[in-house]
Amino acid sequence: MCPYWRLLFRARFSYGPFIMFEHLPQYAGDPIFGLNDAFHQNAHPQKINLTIGLYYDDAGRIPVLPSVAAVERRLVDDPSPRVYLPMEGLAPYRSAVQKVVFGADSQVVAQGKVATIQTLGGTGALKVGADFLKTAYPDSEVWISDPAWDNHHAIFGGAGFQTRSYPYYDPATKGLAFDAMMSCLRGLPSRAIVLLHPCCHNPTGVDLSREQWGEVIAVLQERGLIPFLDIAYQGMGDGMEEDAYAVRAMAQAGLTVLVANSFSKNLSVYGERCGGLSVVCGSSTEADLVLGQLKAVVRRIYSSAPWHGGHVVSGVLNDAALHGQWLEEVAAMRVRMAQTRTLVHEQLSVKLPGYDADYFIRQRGMFTYSGLLHEQLLALRERHGVYIIDSGRIAVPGLNTHNVGHFTDALADVIGESAR
Ligand code: LMR
């Protein structure tokens, strides 16, 4: 029976509520959140969760940063009414975003050329940016790295854009396919939107060098492209300032650039949904106009950003002592991840001689791209309780000094088996 007749038949002969949505497809689930859920169902005694971009400490706990806890205590001791924030978010939060992302001495910020709003995490920033761009450049296409963080295609596709992929990762070297990437960018039409990760590329952990950024910037300028930078892991690669290099270089080069930033990871406030969207404009007048458009987008999606997360982040970033403390807390996370990478590398060179595990120490940030095959990933899950998403992306912070031995044993088992 065709769906239309089936609906009519059900409506006529059933007594329950009218069935309106049965024609919709089943949601396939999210490749990251779905496997994270599956991990929590698994009863394996040594299971390891390497699915999702969450930072865990060496004891396997998601930390509440002491700097964040200090602000939360103040908010409890001296409570304020939970009013609606303005559509653009909390003013001191927005200026803190600008300092973190563009630097305390940024010229474009001083000149009033940056329109910044508080957003619902980095994902919310991408969504507001996507809707804004769809109004300004409805016919542009959005170019996303291959491989991509899956949600990039979903967010821009959901905003009505045609999304496409540019080459980024070379499986043969487990490094950057820079020449292929550049030749693709050189062929893009003016006003094409190019999504880039300034640091800690998700999913590969493969980043551009400063020289390579210089070449990308030149092409963006020559072709009149619109860069949209997604910086969700600032501080997790080489340092808070170092990781923002590409953002600042583009702003300094005079490019119009959108920047989505997130505090989920570097402040460990995932569920508070704290991020920012900044648009670097050609003048302060244009920035005012853009700010108005961003507010209009926010109003029609969710009206305003959360009060609590906004005050927590603003409280840490605008207090000199807490800000300094926070930088140390981020450094500790970064150092632990780098040490873990080294540990894996050392153990694999003993347990899997001949296997090139250098990518573990070459790739940066929270993720490493393993190139593990589908059957190896299944064997890791089923035999060893080691959960890695289907692309082979490993979330490094799920590893620690207590479970790294089990992880490298498991890898040696499945990789060794494929080699036999
Ligand atoms: C990830 O990539 O694992 C994180 O950014 C979480 C998410 O939203 O996908």
Residue 40: HSE in the Cβ half-sphere, 13 Å Cα cutoff: 6
Report if pTM > 0.75: yes
Q: Tell me, what amino acid is at 92?
A: P
Ligand 1 mean position, distance from CA 339 (Å) = 22
Q: Ligand 1 within 6 A of 32 CB?
A: yes
Q: Are 194 and 250 spatial neighbours (Cβ–Cβ below 8 Å)? A: no
230 tagged catalytic: yes
Q: How far apart are CA 155 and CA 79, in angstroms?
A: 36
> Helices marked H in 197-244 — which ranges?
210-223
Q: Which residues on adjacent β-strands are paired with residue 227?
A: 194
- The confidence score (pLDDT) of residue 2 equals 66
Joined together, the tokens standing for residue 61 give 């706990």
Q: Which atom of ligand 1 is nearest to the CA of 33?
A: 9
Contacts 24+ apart (CB under 8 A), 32-36: 32/150, 32/389, 35/387, 35/389, 35/390, 36/387
Q: Which ligand 1 atom sits nearest the alpha carbon of residue 51?
A: 3
**What six digits make up the tokens of 365?**
């940030």
| DSSP structure string for 150-203 | HHHHHHHHHTT-EEEEEE-EETTTTEE-HHHHHHHHHTPPTT-EEEE-SSS-TT
Active-site residue identified among 134, 265, 295, 326: 265
Which residue is closest in CA terms to ligand 1's atom 5?
A: 53
Provide the 3-class DSSP secondary structure of residue 16.
Answer: coil
Which residue is associated with the tokens 């600032």? 234
Taking CA atoms only, the protein residue closest to ligand 1 atom 6 is: 53
CA–CA dist 303, 305 (Å, integer): 7
pLDDT tens string for the chain (420 positions)? 566 666 566 656 656 678 899 999 999 999 999 999 999 999 999 999 999 999 999 999 999 999 999 999 999 999 999 999 999 999 999 999 999 999 999 999 999 999 999 999 999 999 999 999 999 999 999 999 999 998 999 999 999 999 999 999 999 999 999 999 999 999 999 999 999 999 999 999 999 999 999 999 999 999 999 999 999 999 999 999 999 999 999 999 999 999 999 999 999 999 999 999 999 999 999 999 999 999 999 999 999 999 999 999 999 999 999 999 999 999 999 999 999 999 999 999 999 998 999 999 999 899 999 999 999 999 999 999 999 999 999 999 999 999 999 999 999 999 988 777
| 326 in active site | no
Ligand 1 centroid vs 32 CA: distance in angstroms? Answer: 7
Assigned token pair, 243: 């990781």
Please identify which of the residues 113, 134, 143, 149 carries the catalytic annotation: 149
Nearest to 388 by CA among 412, 372, 409, 408: 372
Cβ within 8 Å of residue 201, ≥6 positions away: 145, 168, 207, 364, 365, 367
User: Per the structure block, which two tokens stand in for 219?
Assistant: 């092409």
Q: Which of 62, 126, 202, 236 to mutate for ligand 1's pocket (most ligand atoms within 8 Å of CB)?
A: 202
Tokens of 32: 């990251």
Compute, in angstroms, the gap from residue 153 CA to the centroid of ligand 1. 14
First to last CA, the chain: 52
Sequence-separated (6 or more) residues with CB below 8 Å from residue 340: 396, 397, 399, 400, 401, 404
Distances (CA, A) of 56 to 108, 153, 191, 315, 336: 36, 27, 40, 23, 10
DSSP secondary structure letters along 45-57: TT-EE-SS-----
Q: Which residues contact 271 (CB under 8 A, 6 or more apart)?
A: none
Is the alpha carbon torsion for 77, 81, 82, 86 positive or negative?
A: negative
Three-state DSSP state, 110: helix
| Contact present, 115 and 279 (Cβ < 8 Å) | yes
